[in-house]
Amino acid sequence: MKQVYVNSVGSISTQKTFDGSFLEDVIDHEDHVIHAMDPVYKDYIPPAAARRMAKGIKMGIVASKIALTEAGIDNVDAIITGTGMGCVRDSEKFVSAIIDNDEQFLTPTPFIQSTHNTVGGQIALEIQCKGYNFTYVHAAISFESALLDALMQIQEEEANHILIGGVDELGDHTVKIHQVINHIKTEKVKSSQLLASKTSGAVFGEGANFFVLSSEKGETSYAEVLDTKTFNTLEKDQLQSELNIFLKANNIEANDIDLLVLGNNGDVDFDDYYNALAQDLFTQTQQVYFKHLSGEFNTVSSFGFWLASNILKHQSVPEVIKLNHTQTVQFDNVLLYNQYRGENHSFTLLKKC
């Protein structure tokens, strides 16, 4: 079975990550929702084309191009995308136009862009990749589904280089309706105070994080991907036993884990899943979180994957993401755990390479 390496990363997020830096100047947002910082799109996409594109498409294409450039390749064997909602603004635009104009005067562009696989299709068009092209749309595990697919194909030697990523954009109406059901916090919260908020709901965000996974380790490699596993449901008291099964399958013990990357989003009703996993097993392990920087969205775990890859490459942890005071000098194995509202849990294991 071939090994799988993260050979490059490309990140568009609510932080200044598009320039390849690693959380050097962190923005302390204060809002209910936080928007991705725009790179100079015309550096990557012809302006005429970019004007018609949904933000999700633009973020996806730019993050992909950054990742391809860093990996030093023009094309890949496969493109596998995760997105919870696709280009949700176009979906909103098309539904509201149907209602407001009583099914008249509609134009096809928002309908076309609302299709979930638009980002994956546009990336293929942009780089002229005729290979395998999948889009996973399963809420909080959309990105991990893409990762698993790529992992299997590289391990089984069906592909050598695969572009994977997670992308989601914010839409005004979607934000409003999630506010009325309290999935978004009713009060504005400062990023640095997210975990202290002790209120229901999350701060929503958006972004795109893409990676080139390869069978060959290169100069640019960040980490090796050992495994990923997803669960539609899990009770808190099942977390540790399921984790042990996962670790055992990878010949790793809990005390081999040097860093735990957790998906805490400051929702007082659901953050205790992370405590349930970390208690007893990981009291002496360094723990970090990231959703205060990125906001919550369906594919935000791809930002966690970006973070873990960077930590393994640079062997350092930015102060702003630390959850506890444990200091670690050497990072070999990193475990990521994420869930959203108690559903769609995922474990991902990365290793120094």
Partner 1 sequence: MGKGVAITGMGIISAIGNNVEENFQSLIDKKKGIGRVKKIQTNHVNDIMVGEIDFTNDDFIEQLQLPATNNYSRTALLGVIAAKEAIKNAGISDITQYKTGLVSATSVGGMDMTERYFYEYLENPEVQKYIDGHHAGDSTQKIAEQLGIDGSLVTTISTACSSAANAIMLGARLIKTGRLDRVVVGGSDCLSKFTINGFKTLMILSDTFNTPFDENRKGLNLGEAAAFLVLESDKVVQAENKTVLAYVKGYGNANDAFHQTASSDDGDGATLAMEQALKIAGLHPEDIDYINAHGTATGNNDLSEGRAILRVFGDRVPDFSSTKAYTGHTLAAAGGIEAVYSVLALQNNVIYPNLNFETPMKEFDITPELSIKQKEIKTVLSNSLGFGGNCSTVIFSKEP
Residue choice 3, 69, 155, 160 for contact with partner 1 (CB under 8 A): 155
Q: Does 242 bind partner 1 (CB under 8 A)?
A: yes
State the DSSP code for 43.
G
The alpha carbon dihedral of 295, 296, 302, 307 has a sign of: positive
CB of 101 to partner 1, least distance (A): 10
CB of 140 to partner 1, least distance (A): 8
Binding mask 273-302 for partner 1 (x = CB under 8 A): -------------------------x----
Residue choice 121, 218, 318, 342 for contact with partner 1 (CB under 8 A): 121
Where do we find the tokens 């640095």? 192
Residue choice 20, 26, 37, 132 for contact with partner 1 (CB under 8 A): 132
* CA distance linking residue 145 with residue 151, whole number of Å: 10
CB of 216 to partner 1, least distance (A): 21
Residue choice 22, 37, 50, 134 for contact with partner 1 (CB under 8 A): 134
Q: How many CB atoms lie within 10 A of CB 220?
A: 17
Q: Does 237 bind partner 1 (CB under 8 A)?
A: no
Q: Does 141 bind partner 1 (CB under 8 A)?
A: yes
Q: Does 118 bind partner 1 (CB under 8 A)?
A: yes
Q: Does 344 bind partner 1 (CB under 8 A)?
A: yes
Query: Among residues 17 and 142, whose Cβ is nearest to partner 1?
Result: 142
CB of 215 to partner 1, least distance (A): 16
Q: Does 114 bind partner 1 (CB under 8 A)?
A: yes
* CA distance linking residue 260 with residue 266, whole number of Å: 17
Determine contact, residues 305/229, Cβ cutoff 8 Å: no
Query: Among residues 34 and 141, whose Cβ is nearest to partner 1?
Result: 141
Bridge partners (DSSP) of residue 296 are: 204
Residue choice 5, 18, 94, 273 for contact with partner 1 (CB under 8 A): 94
CB of 318 to partner 1, least distance (A): 32
Q: How many CB atoms lie within 10 A of CB 257?
A: 20
Alpha helices in the chain (DSSP H): 47-52, 55-71, 88-100, 108-114, 118-127, 142-155, 172-180, 239-249, 272-278, 291-294, 301-314
Q: Does 200 bind partner 1 (CB under 8 A)?
A: no
Bridge partners (DSSP) of residue 338 are: 346
Six-digit token string for 351: 């290793």
Burial (CB count within 10 angstroms: exposed 0-12, middle 13-18, buried 19+), residue 235: exposed
Instruction: Name the residue among 335, 212, 210, 195 with its Cα closest to residue 272.
Output: 195
Q: Does 85 bind partner 1 (CB under 8 A)?
A: yes
Residue choice 47, 99, 187, 329 for contact with partner 1 (CB under 8 A): 99
**DSSP one-letter string for 225-279:** EEEEEEEEE--GGGHHHHHHHHHHHTT--GGG--EEEE---SBTTTTHHHHHHHT
Residue choice 190, 200, 217, 231 for contact with partner 1 (CB under 8 A): 231
If binding means CB under 8 A, how many residues of this protein chain bind partner 1? 65
Q: Does 122 bind partner 1 (CB under 8 A)?
A: yes
Positions in the binding site for partner 1 (CB under 8 A): 79, 84-86, 91, 94-96, 98-99, 102-104, 106-108, 111-112, 114-118, 120-122, 124-125, 128-139, 141-142, 145, 149, 152-153, 155-156, 173, 176-178, 180-181, 229-234, 238, 242, 298, 343-344
